[in-house]
Structure 1
């Protein structure tokens, strides 16, 4: 059996330092994603999304930076994490997505917050929450076949402040300048003498913590002045000029700009003098950039088309490009991308995007990417023909633990749900001339509670359970059905008339159906004519007409599914849900510490009424539920270490206790799955590091086989068809290992399990594995979700024996 990754979806960490786009090397974009580093090629015409994930750090990755190799054949990546360690990774052109960890350094005693590199030099700097900045030298040969690291200096800033950002630049042939800033409003300038950096100047003027620093030369000429941009939580960007020689540069006209009004009092033209071994330099205030309405997180320079431009991102949901006016010299915002503040909305669910945290230029300077609160990337590309920046398809993913995943009945799309309080729908975009690529096509549920479990009722309806004691049922809206049919060739099987679209009312948790109207149709007011029409209760049809997978602003606002039912009855957080194979019953369970709460409730999906009485047998939380292939049995497993088989009684929707084993495993049972064998056979997965195979006879249940694992097994899933008279199953463990096993139906005690290579698996606990229905016998697919916030899809090619 050959297992290979087909698709990965993972969201980025909300940290301004946690992403970088390689300008030399392989031109990939790396970003911190939970405890890992994800690699993505935004310029890939096939839009394959994240190509690989590097595991190794044990806490969230805060800082990611490519080392400037000046070689197109090799990339060196530096990653710093909250586990206090710095890792160095290398990849070659032959295998661009295979990065190897060459070295792990634990020099800091606190989480690393920032990494700064210097093109044309082997020096780089790291800042950390231990209040120190460390200067390192990378020792390598010409082809980077061997790499080592040497600590040159430690600069202590604590207890005065903690470094949030660093910037390095070449001052002249003999010395380097280092700018450091962070949790106070000053910028410290250090200049190197021999190998040691000394504090030379302190720049004042900002009124908040400083979030971004960036150096550049004013023109491509190495002898031109250095410019330093500093961006702060005070909503302003300040530019500083570093000028060589004993004379001051011509005074900037920015100080006399009448538009600055009262601000001019805080603008000082005091010159700061710094010295390198070969020359004297002045540091003067150059310009104040106004325009952002909230904290500014990143700033980065670029020489584009002979002009110097500055890119900034802010909490106000915008990306701005600044340029100096050729006649007046005043810096103005020439392009603003992102969202207009008026669109923020009133609830955090579908309103405010929560700011744009990262902004990066592409290596060719004609694209920009930005990361927002929801973990999704946005990408804009410049068209010289129209002189416009247009938004393009980028990559999205969950930003917290992904708890549940299920396929639609026909296997045409999958739905995931997790602790970031969203439910996301992924499908394949089928385009002429390209291989089909996977994308997020809808965000059916944006919630106020962590979501724990999900299952589909029909191809156009699903049910989710959250930390809120009730379950919610969602129906596909017409807009999503039409989009999936147009872009993914998914035919809608809904029998009833579909609702147009949905939204979340202000301060609400329930998705309400809304109407879609044509662009030229008037919006009618159903109620009192004196009341204003609620603009959020209708949507223009043109907003829902897509020729490509939707962008993040549409996903977060316009592609919700209307909620049609709420299911009450449980007393605590919902822990498991399963829908029968014929779609007529939903079984649910909640967290429990007593027999009264550890009941399984059944709901009839026609009228969504509870089928009483609830099923009582477990004494602690039920962790997994599954109906047998013929719906004759319901299997439940729980933290009380027992499995229970319920059998359908003569009354159609009733199930009664048939078999139970209070000591099915020696530790809690976390996963369960039925096999496709004619003789009813099921599998259970436990914290006792084993998967057990059981077979039901007329009178009893026999243990047919045990599969041992290296760690606690958290989930097991059996394929719904036999493969050459063998059952095929997957198991996932608490440490992120994936095992793929098979056993002949006559010899279930001789199951063989092959472990998938560790680098292809997640870094944390696997929560659920599901096989894709309707696939060819020897070409299977399965989806897997994990606590490392990733959804992964794998192809399984089975060779004929």
Structure 2
């Protein structure tokens, strides 16, 4: 039996201000929503391994993630809420730092859940959903949290009705808790608890937009002083509120006299709201208005830095800001701003705009901050005391929508993925001594259409198809090639001179090659006027990509595009499948079709990029899968019409194919994928269908016989053969609609008895598998340096693309995975 471990996971974060939390109690983990999963990442671990695990349980997008403060450093609890209307409780199971088990699912909410709040030292937490209801819960547990249950204490129906988007809870005094709630109105509601029941005590007004974040903090680190509440709004302002104990009002803040407020200062109300707990009386007064952001503010988070109280905010203006109170005047000022210059705002992500930062979090020790942007990528900054500045560090990135296609470079040196977030991404291993870690090293394509399929033509060229009627061919630029060579040991073998880099016009779809200039070289502005001004994104300096670490999101979104060299026309509808021949000289493509006229396969030669006519006809509906045999003698196609067809290279021509075999009833339902086995095993191929079957066929010169059928638990959506024989066996992997991934070992002496090993469901995606791809030339054929640092010679790698937005690379170990010497 084979054993499988995860080598690499890439996935983007969900764009929701509450969808991430950094554990403050010792694990160092940052948990964030990634589609319907919860991703676990240790940002400060210097092995740079990225996402270490994905927790699978929710049925829809995860909107809110929160570490529950247990007070135990080795016993982490995660609360999560989702669009699927459920709250889920996850507990570390102790087997590894990133291993959690789902211990409780709460289904009381009737609408998607958008906010959670909990406070250390209490077992009370609150959840808010878009049905306008906040529910108050109490944990019931033993001292070690080995047994966990929850009790519903109260349901608060918000009046006037609004959707809660932000909650926070803290201790007011020994007798009471205070809860703040806000959302799709411009008010903040304050609730005070009495005997485990919260009552509305005050309504704070002043904001002019939806309120996206609320956070409490004691004014002093030792717990003394007043309580402060920060509220961040879509009106571009942060308001600070002071909760003061006693009948007397606090001293009037000087913040409203800040000349920077202009006319705003005159309109700021300092009305005192009186509230009471069981023991004491309190007042809530407006403390300060923080202005400086130029767009919606999504999150705010407090921390005590020695004797200073600081607030971190993130905004749609592409910046993070750190605020603190000036000791002499009391005016709150921005002391640090991180992110991107606002001049790039409004431009496309291809020219540098990240579309704003949705989440901002402090590290447990306060020395680092992270933020999540629109592209699904995280940014990490750490404070360097010796230089008194914040330095950006290596973080993680990933797709934010379904990953539709995946392929390895022809020589196996890197991995390409593409998907519905309209990007193509390149992943490779960062090699530094004996250490290895996977990272996104280039973003070759940022498109205007959802991308459906991809294949590698050569180690420096690939082709992709999208929801447009043409295919695009991309060549590797010198900047990306040098980066891969320097950090990954991947040598460029392109026979053509490489352009330096590429850019994409703001209103265009085609990546254009550009040349790099020296740092001291200026770009002349045309005398024709502003209309002819040089686009800053069309200029790149040679030092821009001269760094010794994987690229940051700034580099990926702006400087690591690949120039587009060809467009292939001919299809009438969205591209559904693409395959390149193993020698890179031919490309076969298909498009979505509901008639015979469009269900054709078009073949192009890659020397002159001309179509070889006539197109290949066999199917009556969309062709879903194409693959050339290892020797390029045959082209296999499958489609929604339940048929497979084989085309053979005709005569001496290396480009013309003619149909030689077809089975119109290959499966009882549509066929979704197909793959050829190793050439040395004979002409064996596999098909995968909606009928929950994988069928193994042996092809002779005119027909193919079904040798065996492998049953799956759901529709089989992807299948892939390892392209070499392993100790007299062939190895086949398949993926299913429910996320199942299985590896099948089939003896050449007995094709009818496959040995099927299903990968642990904790390691596999939570949604459908879209494509599988074994890494070519890994092991014996890999460079000697790779052999020395690979896990062992009996290991293969397989990449998986899924509907759950993830790209995964598995290591498959097997006692039978030893290369057959005659293969």
Question: Scaled by the length of structure 2, what TM-score is found?
Answer: 0.96
SS for the counterpart of 1:758 is coil
Residues 546-578 of structure 1: CA distance to partner in whole angstroms, max 9, x if unpaired?
Answer: 211010011011100000000000000000000
1:729 match: 732
Q: Does the CA contact (< 8 Å) of 2:582 and 2:631 recur in 1?
A: yes
Spell out the pairing of 1:258-269 with structure 2 (5 A cutoff).
258-269=259-270
Residues 274-309 of structure 1: CA distance to partner in whole angstroms, max 9, x if unpaired?
Answer: 000101001011011010000000001000122100
- Are residues 1:465 and 2:465 paired? yes
Q: Does the CA contact (< 8 Å) of 2:406 and 2:454 recur in 1?
A: yes
Aligned pair in 2 of structure 1 residues 36, 158: CA closer, same or farther (>3 Å)? farther
Q: 1:166 and 1:529 mapped to 2: Cα distance?
A: 52
Aligned pair in 2 of structure 1 residues 315, 533: CA closer, same or farther (>3 Å)? closer
Aligned pair in 2 of structure 1 residues 2, 185: CA closer, same or farther (>3 Å)? same
Q: 2:354 and 2:617 mapped to 1: Cα distance?
A: 44
Q: 1:570 and 1:563 mapped to 2: Cα distance?
A: 19
SS for the counterpart of 1:329 is coil
Q: 2:778 and 2:477 mapped to 1: Cα distance?
A: 27
1:509 match: 509
1:518 match: 518
1:792 match: 808
Q: Does the CA contact (< 8 Å) of 2:471 and 2:575 recur in 1?
A: yes
- Are residues 1:196 and 2:197 paired? yes
1:103 match: 104
Q: Does the CA contact (< 8 Å) of 2:672 and 2:690 recur in 1?
A: yes
1:567 match: 568
1:278 match: 279
SS for the counterpart of 2:485 is helix
Q: 1:350 and 1:519 mapped to 2: Cα distance?
A: 19
**Structure 1 residue 208, shift from structure 2 partner:** 0.7
1:661 match: 663
Q: 1:535 and 1:271 mapped to 2: Cα distance?
A: 51
Residues 618-641 of structure 1: CA distance to partner in whole angstroms, max 9, x if unpaired?
Answer: 000000000001111000000000
Q: 2:157 and 2:534 mapped to 1: Cα distance?
A: 60
1:356 match: 357
**Structure 1 residue 592, shift from structure 2 partner:** 0.2
Spell out the pairing of 1:294-309 with structure 2 (5 A cutoff).
294-309=295-310
- More displaced 10-residue stretch of structure 1: 369-378 or 339-348: 339-348
1:693 match: 696
Q: 1:699 and 1:505 mapped to 2: Cα distance?
A: 51
Residues 497-526 of structure 1: CA distance to partner in whole angstroms, max 9, x if unpaired?
Answer: 001100001200000011101112243579
Q: 1:480 and 1:699 mapped to 2: Cα distance?
A: 46
Q: 2:526 and 2:320 mapped to 1: Cα distance?
A: 39
- Aligned match of 1:757 in 750, 757, 760? 760
SS for the counterpart of 2:544 is helix
Q: Does the CA contact (< 8 Å) of 1:677 and 1:745 recur in 2?
A: no
2:416 match: 415
1:479 match: 479
Q: Is there any run of 5+ residues in structure 1 with no aligned partner, and where?
A: none
2:746 match: 743
- More displaced 10-residue stretch of structure 1: 279-288 or 695-704: 695-704
Q: Does the CA contact (< 8 Å) of 2:350 and 2:503 recur in 1?
A: no
Q: Does the CA contact (< 8 Å) of 2:661 and 2:702 recur in 1?
A: no
Q: Does the CA contact (< 8 Å) of 2:526 and 2:533 recur in 1?
A: no
RMSD: 1.4
Q: 2:322 and 2:139 mapped to 1: Cα distance?
A: 33
1:592 match: 593
Q: Does the CA contact (< 8 Å) of 2:349 and 2:558 recur in 1?
A: no
2:174 match: 173
SS for the counterpart of 1:371 is strand
1:140 match: 141
**Structure 1 residue 159, shift from structure 2 partner:** 5.5
Q: 1:465 and 1:522 mapped to 2: Cα distance?
A: 38
Aligned pair in 2 of structure 1 residues 743, 526: CA closer, same or farther (>3 Å)? farther
2:18 match: 17
Q: 2:314 and 2:173 mapped to 1: Cα distance?
A: 30
Residues 328-382 of structure 1: CA distance to partner in whole angstroms, max 9, x if unpaired?
Answer: 1100000000001112363354342111000000001001000000010000000
Q: Does the CA contact (< 8 Å) of 1:381 and 1:390 recur in 2?
A: yes
Residues 585-610 of structure 1: CA distance to partner in whole angstroms, max 9, x if unpaired?
Answer: 00000000011100000001001110
Q: 1:437 and 1:347 mapped to 2: Cα distance?
A: 30
Q: 1:536 and 1:83 mapped to 2: Cα distance?
A: 41
Aligned pair in 2 of structure 1 residues 15, 508: CA closer, same or farther (>3 Å)? same
Q: Does the CA contact (< 8 Å) of 2:351 and 2:506 recur in 1?
A: no
Q: 1:359 and 1:640 mapped to 2: Cα distance?
A: 49
Q: Does the CA contact (< 8 Å) of 2:115 and 2:127 recur in 1?
A: yes
Q: Does the CA contact (< 8 Å) of 1:13 and 1:61 recur in 2?
A: yes
Q: Is there any run of 5+ residues in structure 2 with no aligned partner, and where?
A: 780-792, 818-823
**Structure 1 residue 73, shift from structure 2 partner:** 1.2
1:448 match: 448
Aligned pair in 2 of structure 1 residues 160, 72: CA closer, same or farther (>3 Å)? same
- More displaced 10-residue stretch of structure 1: 222-231 or 51-60: 222-231
Q: Does the CA contact (< 8 Å) of 2:578 and 2:590 recur in 1?
A: yes
SS for the counterpart of 1:508 is coil
Aligned pair in 2 of structure 1 residues 234, 527: CA closer, same or farther (>3 Å)? closer
Q: Does the CA contact (< 8 Å) of 1:783 and 1:793 recur in 2?
A: yes
Q: 2:777 and 2:526 mapped to 1: Cα distance?
A: 46
**Structure 1 residue 86, shift from structure 2 partner:** 0.5
SS for the counterpart of 1:429 is strand
1:344 match: 345
Question: Scaled by the length of structure 1, what TM-score is found?
Answer: 0.98
SS for the counterpart of 1:542 is coil
- More displaced 10-residue stretch of structure 1: 573-582 or 745-754: 745-754
**Structure 1 residue 778, shift from structure 2 partner:** 1.8
Spell out the pairing of 1:78-227 with structure 2 (5 A cutoff).
78-92=79-93, 94-157=95-158, 160-227=161-228
2:820 match: none
Aligned pair in 2 of structure 1 residues 355, 652: CA closer, same or farther (>3 Å)? same
Aligned pair in 2 of structure 1 residues 750, 514: CA closer, same or farther (>3 Å)? same
Q: Does the CA contact (< 8 Å) of 2:425 and 2:445 recur in 1?
A: yes
2:788 match: none
Q: 1:281 and 1:398 mapped to 2: Cα distance?
A: 48
Q: Does the CA contact (< 8 Å) of 1:407 and 1:415 recur in 2?
A: yes
SS for the counterpart of 1:484 is helix
SS for the counterpart of 2:260 is helix
Q: 2:748 and 2:420 mapped to 1: Cα distance?
A: 38
Report how many aligned residue pairs link the two structures: 800
Spell out the pairing of 1:619-658 with structure 2 (5 A cutoff).
619-650=620-651, 651-658=653-660
Q: 2:137 and 2:454 mapped to 1: Cα distance?
A: 48
2:381 match: 380
Q: 2:640 and 2:471 mapped to 1: Cα distance?
A: 21
Q: 2:237 and 2:535 mapped to 1: Cα distance?
A: 36
- Are residues 1:292 and 2:308 paired? no
**Structure 1 residue 171, shift from structure 2 partner:** 0.6
- Are residues 1:77 and 2:78 paired? yes
- Are residues 1:684 and 2:687 paired? yes
Q: 1:538 and 1:241 mapped to 2: Cα distance?
A: 49
Q: Does the CA contact (< 8 Å) of 1:73 and 1:92 recur in 2?
A: no
- Are residues 1:321 and 2:322 paired? yes
- More displaced 10-residue stretch of structure 1: 555-564 or 741-750: 741-750
Q: 1:296 and 1:598 mapped to 2: Cα distance?
A: 49
Q: 2:347 and 2:440 mapped to 1: Cα distance?
A: 24
Q: Does the CA contact (< 8 Å) of 1:215 and 1:228 recur in 2?
A: yes
2:6 match: 5
SS for the counterpart of 1:548 is coil
Q: Does the CA contact (< 8 Å) of 2:68 and 2:77 recur in 1?
A: yes
- More displaced 10-residue stretch of structure 1: 478-487 or 150-159: 150-159
SS for the counterpart of 1:16 is coil
Q: Does the CA contact (< 8 Å) of 2:216 and 2:230 recur in 1?
A: yes
